[in-house]
């Protein structure tokens, strides 16, 4: 357990974007709060449940603060996705580029455990940092609302500590489903990043070519539609009111196939990292 903790800590130190992006946004949120509180007499706090000038966020309902809660939920989810792809593309490639792989091979850490720790960071640690970002935004909104809103409006717009807890729990449930959807994606990126310096670009080109070739060979968009459904699954879960149902709608056979694919590509990544 201590070794795993040390490895996770090392990943966070080597890939500072995981912490810096949420912290930067958190500081920005705090700055906004200070600006609002210092201009409290000129500020009108109004939560709209029907959108801003007709615009609707991807998430249509929220257990906290209506529209504001939906936007903060979506922002935290996007931060999690951006951090995931940034980290996944560099996690193994950084070792190869910097020549530190030989050092890690001299340590009492197996290749399978090293990659498993990186998966843990990508699928668990990064979402947890994003959830803390959401928590800070929610607390910020609640503090501002306590200053500028009467009690009846606080209750009407679900602005309370209990609502914050429910909102955070809703986000945790959503990112848990997203992490399951991103498991095969992470494994593929890890494997590809050991073969090329631009794994995300290679994957994008590969998916595009598969769609094009399958459409020409079979005169059907079925393969392309399936790839879109699988590759966009995490984002669809984020923007869904029922994330676990969205995950389940992919189908048991597809999910089982993706799990088997993940295991196979994970083993391929271990093989590539070991240099055998």
Q: Alpha-carbon Rg of the chain, whole angstroms?
A: 21
14: enclosing H helix or E strand: helix 2-14
For 52, phi then psi, to 5°, come to -95, 110
> Is 48 a domain residue?
no
**Cα–Cα distance between 65 and 190 in angstroms, integer?**
38
pLDDT value for 47: 42
Residue range(s) defining the domain that contains residue 201:
1-39+60-275
CB-side exposure of 3: number of CA atoms within 13 Å? 7
pLDDT value for 243: 93
**Cα–Cα distance between 252 and 249 in angstroms, integer?**
8
Supply 255's token pair: 């999910």
pLDDT band at 88 (very low <50, low <70, confident <90, very high): very high
- Report the range out of 80-84, 133-137, 270-274 with the highest average pLDDT: 80-84
By percentage, how much of the chain surpasses pLDDT 70? 86
> Is 49 a domain residue?
no
pLDDT band at 82 (very low <50, low <70, confident <90, very high): very high
pLDDT value for 44: 46
Q: Is 272 in contact with 191 (CB distance < 8 Å)?
A: yes
**Cα–Cα distance between 233 and 177 in angstroms, integer?**
10
> Is 47 a domain residue?
no
Supply 51's token pair: 């959108």
pLDDT for 177-193, tens place per residue? 999 999 999 999 999 99
Please tell me the total count of domains within the chain: 1
Question: 55 pairs with which residues across the strands?
Answer: 52
pLDDT for 231-268, tens place per residue? 899 999 999 989 999 999 999 999 999 999 999 999 99
CA angle 74, 77, 80 (to 5 degrees): 155
> Is 44 a domain residue?
no
Question: Which range (58-67, 76-85, 257-266) has the least confidence?
Answer: 58-67
Q: Is 61 in contact with 241 (CB distance < 8 Å)?
A: yes
> Is 46 a domain residue?
no
Average pLDDT in the 61-72 region?
75
Average pLDDT in the 205-229 region?
83
CA angle 29, 33, 38 (to 5 degrees): 150
Sign of the dihedral defined by the CA atoms of residues 194, 200, 201, 207, in that order: positive
Q: Is the pLDDT of residue 48 over 50?
A: no
Residue 59 vs residues 75, 161, 168, 198, 235: alpha-carbon distances, Å: 11, 21, 14, 32, 11
CB atoms < 10 A from the CB of 202, how many? 15
Instruction: Name the nearest CA neighbour of 190 among 266, 95, 127.
Output: 266
pLDDT for 92-147, tens place per residue? 888 777 766 766 667 778 889 999 999 999 999 999 999 999 998 888 888 877 87
């Amino acid at each position: 357990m201590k070794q795993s903790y040390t490895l996770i800590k090392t990943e966070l130190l080597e890939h500072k974007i995981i912490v810096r992006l949420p912290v930067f946004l958190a500081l920005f949120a705090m700055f906004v709060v200070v600006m609002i509180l210092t201009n409290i007499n000129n500020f009108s706090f109004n939560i709209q449940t029907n959108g801003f000038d007709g615009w609707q966020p991807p998430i249509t309902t929220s257990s906290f603060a209506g529209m504001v809660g939906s936007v903060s939920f979506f922002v935290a989810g996007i931060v999690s996705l951006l951090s995931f792809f940034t980290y996944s593309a560099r996690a193994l490639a950084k070792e190869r580029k910097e020549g530190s792989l030989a050092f890690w091979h001299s340590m009492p850490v197996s290749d399978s455990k090293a990659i498993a720790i990186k998966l843990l960071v990508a699928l668990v640690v990064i979402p947890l940092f994003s959830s803390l970002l959401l928590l800070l935004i929610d607390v910020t909104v609640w503090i501002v609302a306590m200053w500028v809103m009467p009690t009846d409006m606080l209750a009407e717009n679900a602005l309370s500590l209990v609502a914050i807890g429910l909102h955070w729990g809703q986000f945790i449930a959503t990112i848990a489903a997203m992490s399951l959807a991103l498991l095969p994606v992470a494994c593929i990126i890890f494997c590809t990043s050991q073969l090329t310096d631009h794994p995300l670009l290679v994957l994008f080109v590969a998916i595009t070519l598969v769609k094009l070739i399958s459409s020409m060979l079979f005169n059907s968009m079925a393969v392309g539609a399936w790839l879109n459904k699988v590759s966009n699954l995490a984002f669809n879960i984020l923007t869904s009111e029922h994330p676990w149902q969205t995950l389940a709608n992919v189908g048991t056979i597809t999910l089982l196939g993706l799990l088997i694919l993940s295991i196979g590509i994970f083993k391929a990544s271990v093989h590539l990292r070991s240099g055998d």
